[in-house]
Structure 1
Amino acid sequence: MTFFAGQRVSASQLNPVTFSGYQIATQSVPNNAWTGATFDGEYEDSHGGHSTVTLNGTYTIPVTGFYDLAAGSSFVPNVTGLRGVKILKSGVIINRATCYAATGPSAGATPFVAVKENCVAGDTITVQIYQVSGGALSTLANGEATCHLEISLIRR
């Protein structure tokens, strides 16, 4: 954020909103069903919009503004089917915020989506993940490849 000489700056401008959540424990995702992702780990939660215990799949927007939102999903290796990830704001899918990835002959797929979105204080951000493999499939939670959600305020 850039400030100019003589510009008045509020405390909230000096304390930008950032959140980075990820999975520590694996999550079983049923076949062919969008499922709410859980984020039981945090790298950063500048404004306390997330809990790793209660509703750990939800981030509550603390400040009205224009945000960068990004999410990814990772599953255990399985060469069958399709994987997906999407971001929702207050329970509604955000336009341009759904990604599908087909699996390959020797590896799985790791879909990722990023979008910029206007949010109002109190909006909730959630991520849903998806897979079609013929049966339930677990997410990866090994630190290198894990389901994650990143949120950053761009401007108020």
Structure 2
Amino acid sequence: MLVGYSLLILVSCGITEIDPPEIQSVVKFLNNSDSDINVVLTNWPLSGNGNTVSLNISAKQEMGNNAFVFENDQVDEYFSIIEDSENMKIELIVSNQLVREWAPPVGSFGKEINNPFNKDSWRFESLSPPFNNDIVGKIVFTITDEDIGD
């Protein structure tokens, strides 16, 4: 009887040590233009090693999957990650031609300025049910025909 009781104590102690999954969001770039584009993220802090990430995004599609952990506001948490990144830039390429380059500063510049370093240019979309039980949403930056120059 004591052996069974000891086993119960051992098992119940182990259960309390399991950490809940971290709550995450993903970063997405939505190509709302009529052109296929390439988004090049140089010195991208969410790449894991600060390297360049290249996203080939078809017209009217979205891409990106860099998950990050957040505690409060997803957009603010994302910007707290990128605001200290040095030499970071985002290039927009259409038909192998550079059509736009964005670089810091990071901040809130109003919704009328579409720039991936502008907090006001991002929106949060919740995912219900959560993906893999821990990704609860995505933050999305939308690229338009105006960004391309069309």
Q: What TM-score, normalized to structure 1?
A: 0.29
- The structure with the greater share of residues assigned to strand is 1
Q: Which has the larger radius of gyration?
A: 2
Instruction: Choose between structure 1 and 2 for higher RCO, CA contacts under 8 A separated by at least 6 residues.
Output: 1
The structure with the largest helix share of the pair is: 2
